[in-house]
Amino acid sequence: KSTTTGHLIYKCGGIDKRTIEKFEKEAQEMGKGSFKYAWVLDKLKAERERGITIDIALWKFETGKYYVTIIDAP
């Protein structure tokens, strides 16, 4: 869920490419390269190490037409 949601946020312009590239580099260093989009919402060290969502996360952004609020929960 976190990966799909993070990818949606990126595709809708809710996070910039440079940040995704940073997450990708950090994820690859931990041997979890495919988790780059999940890390948009999974901020805790334990979440990133274990590859699971532990705590809820909230992300808000705007598109040209909508105000979007996403809540990610375990």
Band of residue 6 on the pLDDT scale cut at 50, 70, 90:
very high
Picking from 23, 11, 64, the residue whose alpha carbon sits closest to that of residue 47 is: 23
Distance (Å, rounded) from C-alpha 68 to C-alpha 59?
A: 8
- Residue 58 class from Cβ within 10 Å (0-12 exposed, 13-18 middle, 19+ buried)? exposed
What is the pTM for the complete model shown?
0.84
The residue-averaged pLDDT of 15-33 equals 94
Which residues lie closer than 8 Å to 45 by C-beta, 6 or more apart?
Answer: none
Residues 33, 45: contact at Cβ < 8 Å? no
The residue-averaged pLDDT of 15-21 equals 96
